[in-house]
Amino acid sequence: MSDITITTILDIATSIGVILLITWIGFMIYLKSKWLIFVENILENGCRPYSLNLFHSSIGTLHYGSVFLSKFHAKRYGLLKKIEQIPSHVQRLFITSFCFGITGSFLTFGSIYITSLL
């Protein structure tokens, strides 16, 4: 039976993080093509700062995910009343995308950083 070392655990965490990041990129492309313009029309009064390209869409999906996830952020950005106009299934998609992106980034880059320290 092989011994499981901290390096093995960090390699597994990095692999899971990369898988989550790839999933998040796919999710982001789906949200950009289907829901991002819809959400921007309601929350930003027709201004579309996040649907320009994929880089801005990645920032937008994380921004709207945090707004839908936390009433504090929605109030901070002045969107608390407007988020009620967005259907709950669309909000859940953005929240799921946010969770994939943040968790994948944390696992990938955190594991790489800890590995470099060892």
Q: Domain segments of the chain: what residues? A: 22-102
Residues of the chain with pLDDT under 50: none
Q: Phi/psi of residue 47, each to 5°?
A: -75, 135
Q: What angle do CA 52, 57, 58 make, to 5 degrees?
A: 150
Q: Are 58 and 31 in contact (CB under 8 A)?
A: no
pLDDT value at residue 2 = 66
pLDDT value at residue 50 = 86
| Dihedral angle computed from the Cα positions of residues 36, 40, 46 and 49, in that order, rounded to the nearest 10 degrees | -90
pTM as predicted? 0.87
Q: What is the DSSP letter of 80?
A: T
pLDDT value at residue 7 = 84
pLDDT value at residue 48 = 84
Compute the distance between CA of residue 30 and CA of residue 32 in angstroms, rounded to an integer. 5
pLDDT value at residue 91 = 94
